[in-house]
Chains A and B, each alone.
Chain A
Amino acid sequence: MIDTILITGATLPGGSQSDILVAGGVIRELGSIAAPAGSRRIDAAGLVALPGLVDLHTHLREPGFEQSETVLTGSQAAAAGGFTSIFAMANTLPVADTAGVVEQVLSLGQQAGYATVRPIGAVTRGLLGEQLSEIGAMAHSRAAVRVFSDDGKCVHDSLLMRRALEYVSSFDGVIAQHAQDPRLTEAAQMNEGSLSSELGLKGWPAVAEESIIARDVLLAEHVGARLHICHLSTAGSVEVIRWAKARGIRVTAEATPHHLLLTEDLVRSYDARYKVNPPLRRDEDVLALRAAIADGTIDIIATDHAPHPSESKECEWDSAAFGMVGLESALSVVQTALVDTNLVGWNDVARLLSATPAAIGGLIGAGAIRAGAAADITLHDPSTSSVFDVTDLAGKSVNSPYLGRQLSGSVRYTLHNGYLTLDDGLVVPAEVVAASARAGSQMEMGE
């Protein structure tokens, strides 16, 4: 196994060129570096080197829904997309509401070795929105859970939300809220507007999201807690967050790649690949989200990678499952929607997709390319433009809305803890990655 990798001629997020020397799982040196004997050399001329991407919102489906995804296959999808850390949502079966489940997910992630898998704990037992789950036990478990979310469901009871915000602050945790008023969205299928009425699909009003966000930022202010809002999808939500931040409320917000590129018009096809929660919205919402990313109102981009088997999508719209896979395509979508449109630079991409999600999730040491940091590095070629294809997917499910769509850029290499998980566009085989991960952890114990 080659332990030393020299990346030459990479473009750092700030725009400067540098070689990057990686050894023993750590970035040793930046600058102009002579190749050490026996090292693997990666020619990164023309490639952007980003700190390994961090996804605060991934559905890995294991335990319980292994036909859609497993921790292994989901982290392979992560590697293909340039992600080195992923936060696994709690809506598994059993739900990740106890120390046992989150430790199981943590271990599966460590065995697979493609990425740091950080479990998210459920806010309420069984995601039922009735009683708090064992938040303290999960926080103090080996998984050291810091992010708690009932994602897929909204913590809609105001009192329970207040208590949750207060309680997790005891453990330096944060609640990641899936903002969706359940009564206003009963049986809802797509963004509510003249198009939903024309298509005869039950409307999902923007106010169902915005009213919960408004309530929750006020609750966070009242109890002085930290709040994170998942997948903002409307222009109104942006306004509420902007107001809250101006007021000094400790709120962070996320947007998904698909809400930055796709609009409700795609639903005209009744193709359930475009069915997602929250739903695709209008053009003006997409533009408002992009502007909010550019001005810092939205802090991070997270994939909401949501794998589903084909039979859950190859059916009539009403019966189809919500969600789309997104890990493999995220960086290309971000380039297409934000970089190519000159709204953000690569430095911002590094912040939006690595440094800030790492900070929100309490992931220490991630999010920067600097000497001494763990060698989590993504090498991205921004010069390509290609039609996204099913062969670009590396997870178990193929419910991508981008199949057949032209996207910019492609991830060429992913390094996690100093070893390759994606090598020249190909996912490194599982046994090779697992062996690297084992070697790495033994070395850590030896040091």
Chain B
Amino acid sequence: MRHLLSTKNLSRDEAILLLDIAEDMSDTQLREVKKLPTLRGKTVVNLFFEDSTRTRVSFEAAAKRLSADVINFSAKGSSVSKGESLKDTAQTLAAIGADGVIIRHAASGAPQRLAESRWIDAGILNAGDGTHEHPTQALLDAFTMRRRIHGDASRGKDLDGISVAIVGDITHSRVARSNLWLLRTLGAHVTFVAPATLIPFGAAEWPATISYDLDQTLSEGRPDVVMLLRIQAERMDAAFFPNEREYSRWWGLDDERFAAMRSDSIVMHPGPMNRGLEISSTAADSAQSTVLEQVTNGVSVRMAALYMLLAGEREGA
């Protein structure tokens, strides 16, 4: 794999291979010495134009456990915030010999722009771009589901027949998009649940079921997985919904809805959570919740992604 920009163009075989490598990586993380020599001598840059300590730290841990040299290049206080262009930054990173660039950017498509430009030859890993995609989040979500469902027999398996309800601000969520494409590739069925304002325009053409009614989806669909997305207060100002109370009343996973769920279903959230808004504490802290597993699995999945992009001779490089 040359770059990881999106889950849309991942094949089923590629996705399963990546998840299987993540299983191997996860096994190594149970050992006393967690560090592998795989990427020794490689330079990985964490290029974060948007603040996200959680994601940056996860990538940093993944790269370091593979023995890569990690350079953190965050926009705040650097030349980037002084108006340096993406192009100039990319050329600077090329000049210092970056083998891989993990980029988080507020502008959709910025990672693809880097990958397809001639500014830099490094492998590009999308760590979240605008409202476009966040492929490693989707991969760690799929990894987490697969483990919960198939346990130790996960290797080689897909998610055929699994039903996933993704609830919340789909319109502005790169996580929802990456999850949809990947889950479909792996054979799962996806339902987006949100008020109509938070369903992307034209999503009827996507391979997802659209629902405005969480109660109906939970009671009739009996989904295997319910994934809640973070609701941002600024959406209220832009008239996406009237107020928090109304949102949580109709689309929040409160105690009552949680109690009515199948006891073997899974509750997921990419974090950070608004407890009491999109998810109740009971649901978030329950045995059905995978919130902390998602964080742990994130490191294994990102190790696998870095391994696939950077280990050995890079194709086309």
Q: Which residues of A contact B (CB under 8 A)?
A: 192-201, 203, 205, 269-271, 311, 314-319
Contact = CB atoms under 8 A, between A and B. Distances in A.
B86 A195 contact: no
A315 B85 contact: yes
Interface string B1-25: 0000000100000000000000000
A319 B109 CA distance: 11
Contacts of B109: 199-201, 270, 316-317
B203 A194 contact: yes
Interface string B81-109: 00001110000000000000000011111
The 4 closest A-B pairs by CB, nearest first: A194-B202, A200-B132, A270-B109, A200-B108
Contact of B133 (A196, A197, A200, A319): A200
Contacts of A192: 201-202
Contacts of B146: none
B129 interface: yes
Given A197-B202, A199-B132, A201-B108, A314 B87 contact: yes
Interface stretch (B110-118, B148-156, B212-220): B110-118
Given A192-B201, A197-B206, 11 more contacts: A196-B201, A197-B171, A200-B133, A311-B87, A315-B86, A315-B113, A316-B86, A316-B107, A317-B107, A317-B110, A318-B108
The contact size tier of chain B is 20 to 34
A205 B171 CA distance: 15
B121 to A, nearest CB: 17
A197 B200 contact: yes
A185 to B, nearest CB: 13
Contacts of A203: 201
B5 to A, nearest CB: 10
A269 B105 CA distance: 17
A242 B83 CA distance: 47
Interface string B182-206: 0000000000000000001111111
Interface string B25-61: 0000000000000000000000000000000000000
Contacts of B276: none
Interface in B252-274: none
Nearest to A205: B201
Nearest to A202: B131
Contacts of B131: 200
B177 A317 contact: no
A369 to B, nearest CB: 46
A269 B108 CA distance: 11
24 contacts: A192-B201, A193-B202, A194-B201, A194-B202, A194-B205, A196-B201, A196-B202, A197-B200, A197-B206, A198-B8, A198-B177, A200-B132, A200-B177, A269-B116, A270-B108, A270-B112, A315-B113, A316-B86, A316-B105, A316-B113, A317-B107, A317-B108, A317-B110, A318-B107
A196 B86 CA distance: 22
Residue among B108, B129, B133, B171 facing the most chain A CB atoms (10 A cut-off): B108
B196 to A, nearest CB: 13
Nearest to B109: A270
A198 B112 CA distance: 14
Given A200-B129, A200-B131, A317 B201 contact: no
Contacts of B117: 314
A318 B107 CA distance: 6
Contacts of B86: 315-316
B120 to A, nearest CB: 13
B130 A200 contact: yes
B174 interface: yes
- Specify which of A197, A311, A314, A318 lies most central, judged by the most chain B CB atoms within 10 Å of its CB: A197
A344 B130 CA distance: 43
Nearest to B200: A197
Nearest to B172: A200
Given A200-B129, A200-B130, A200-B131, A319 B107 contact: yes
Nearest to B206: A194
A205 B174 CA distance: 21
A203 B107 CA distance: 14
Nearest to B199: A197
Contacts of A315: 85-87, 113
B203 A317 contact: no
Contacts of A195: 202
Contacts of A197: 171, 200-203, 206
Contacts of B206: 194, 197-198
Contacts of A319: 107
B38 to A, nearest CB: 31
A318 B132 CA distance: 12
Contacts of A270: 108-110, 112-113, 116
Nearest to B204: A194
B85 A311 contact: yes
A203 B8 CA distance: 20
Interface string B116-129: 11000000000001
Nearest to A310: B87
Contacts of B87: 311, 314-315
Contacts of B204: 194
Nearest to A198: B177
Nearest to B238: A186
A191 to B, nearest CB: 10
Contacts of B203: 194, 197
A105 B105 CA distance: 41
| Most chain B CB within a 10 A radius of its CB, from A195, A199, A205 | A199
A403 to B, nearest CB: 15
B201 A316 contact: no
B145 to A, nearest CB: 23
Contacts of B85: 311, 314-315
Contacts of B132: 199-201
B184 to A, nearest CB: 13
A193 B204 CA distance: 10
Nearest to B170: A197
B177 A193 contact: no
Contacts of A205: 201
A205 B87 CA distance: 30
B245 to A, nearest CB: 27
A314 to B, nearest CB: 5
B201 A199 contact: no
Contacts of A317: 107-110, 113
Nearest to A186: B238
A317 B129 CA distance: 12
Nearest to A267: B109
Report which residue of B117, B132, B171 has the largest number of chain A beta carbons within 10 angstroms of its beta carbon: B132
